[in-house]
Chain A
Amino acid sequence: MDGLDYLFKPESVAIIGASREPRKFGHVILSNFVKRFRGKVYPINPNAKELMNLKSYSSVLDVPDEIDFAVIVIPAEYVENALLECGKKGVKAVVIIPGGFSEVGENEREERLTEIARKYGMRLIGPNCIGIFDTYSHVDTMFSPMYKQDRPFKGRISFISQSGAYGTAIMDKAAAENMGISKFISIGNRADVDEIEMIKYLGNDKNTGVIVLYLEGTKNGRELFNALREVSVKKPIVAMKGGKTFEGSRATLSHTASLAGPSEIFKGMFRQSGVLLAENSEELFDFARALAYLNLPRGDRIQIVTNAGGFGVISADEIVENKLSMAKLSKNTIDRIRKILPSYAVVGNPIDLVGDADSHRYEKVLRYVMKDKGVDAVFVVMLLQLSALESDVVDVLISISSEFEDKPLVVCTTGGEFTQVHTRMMEKVSIPTYPTPERGIRAMKALIDYSRYRGMIRD
């Protein structure tokens, strides 16, 4: 195993700062491991003999067995010593949760951690972070208790975040929306492992299909660029840069310098390295879901199938706005579809199945649409508020998606609780579903952009 492997698939874990106080981070993290982790767990706390029915030790050095991985969750001033003991014990990887280092100007304190890690060949995540969450191994250093923050189930999306709290909220939301996650890494102050190394690691991780990146800055721009370029030809990367405002200095000598805000340059760098750029936090995961669930399309011609005229129009507007193409059905397809639709339905692009469409109508029409050579991807709008459309439309979409898996199918459905229940059902079976045409088409554009980058679509 590589050094970083011990962060994600250790066989034994020590929680330094494990606590019996339910509100303490050390308690939550210990309980995460006790509940779900399959390897050995060692609570470390000099003031306890036993925690959660496990024998507690006063130092990692007292633990009789080997320790692969340690979580340090004690105040900043004690971290150095604890880390030193981890080094002596032969711990391979460590997450340091507490803040109080370079983010508050304590640079030397942080540098000492880096030195200790290097000296003993340990890999470090943090300090000042949430650490790691892995749905496969159940490594979970997130210190929000499970009753307050749900854990998502297994999936193929991995998330590297420079902001810990943002990541925590996303994990909670992912769980609520049935979005599958592989790993979440809060990189914190990056005293050792940084986003660059993590991107490369996830590039080779078989449980990761899509990498999502939230960054505010980087310490090594060129290496970041090279890593992104190297990995983006293997799997899609979706990124967002936080901190967009830029007070352009008015005294610059050139136009270029006054235009070159850090965000503009990040944006260009992301594009150049094949990374999909999310404009906001919603798009990060909107794109990631489409990329994680669907195959890449062979072209950008989209057919809209809807049971609501207005949503068809808005979707068409979005396709044009995003510089994608409206598919043109062959005469043959149009004739066949006309035969199965009522005379008042509009067959073209969009195809308006009209308000009394049931799931059979969707099924028959989608089958013809999928077989048309002029269609590369399908955008299905279904308003579930209409009485004719029953829940079995979900089964129709599942079977159509799996039968024609080379033509990505994206769903848009807007509404309240009833609609949301169906949205979650579809997420669970990997049909990317969006609450507005704008978001759905933007996700489709990301899919098409990536397909083009990989050379599956020729201009």
Chain B
Amino acid sequence: MNRFDYVKPASVTEAIAAASQPGAAYLASGTNLLDLMKGNVVRPERLVDISRLPELNRIERLANGDVRIGALVSNSDLAYDADFAKDFPAVAEALLSGASAQLRNAATVGGNLLQRTRCAYFYDTASACNKRAPRSGCDARDGENSQHAVLGWSDACIATHPSDFCVPLAAFDAVVEIEGSRGRREVALEALHLLPGTAPERESVLEPGEMIVAVRLSAAARSFARHARYLKVRERTSYAFAVVSAAAGLMIENGRIKEARLALGGVAAKPWRPRAAEALLVGQAADAGSYQRAADVALADAKPSGDNAYKIPLARNIIVRALHLAALGTPVRMPALPASPFSSPTGALHDA
């Protein structure tokens, strides 16, 4: 790890001023950043420690019914907030399917959104990586790439975004509040992350010194609470990143789909929201045929970036199953294995 200047501002305003110089990075909980620094993958000259800023640590219900989640709320505090989990069960399920209990106790909302890819070549400083070192090449293209992107990738970069949390946030139209030296602005979560194109080193729309201060979910997104699931295929049962995941929300009236929300994780450099598939579901019967047609549309543009062609039918199957589980209804209690394909639809013990 490189040496760095450590500063601990007392307010968001002070933090933004302190982080406006080149080479500065915000430190929230550091569960990803310190790991990257220990590997010399990133080498910030200055850490601006915002972890104890009290103004960013609240879950608020606003007058219009929206929920505003401060950027420093921990993953576990949010997932175990009873009101939040009841209103946004797929978000809670996604949070609890990620990392370990220790990491969820530390990791923050803002840090989750801005975590870096787990592409092994990004982490290995001896490998070529256009994201870590622009225009150095991409060793993933001819390397171990079975986990890499099948949507939205470019010749420069085939990495995926690893977040579970972001997947239902994208599906349910979350909004990200950003503050910087020129004031406050908002972007849809769906527009926060950038596809790689020719500049994979630029991963989000954040400008230098800008900070995520909150994420908002609208009152309207609660309408999916009775039919909302997150489903995540992993290479082991727990404590693993998604190979492919999906968030699904439905509003069902008289057996027909009134509205649908869908997003995929593990397939692209951002949470992938197939709006054409959502549109196709509206007015259709809540049955396997409808889900299959939506899945086909969602993956219509997918293509392998390496040894990962299997991800395309896997993603179709995950979509069908996530929609099926959502239609069956949100479990009364969080499943013992959140988001696991090994859980029964109600989340009861699979070996009970």
**A, B assembled together:** no
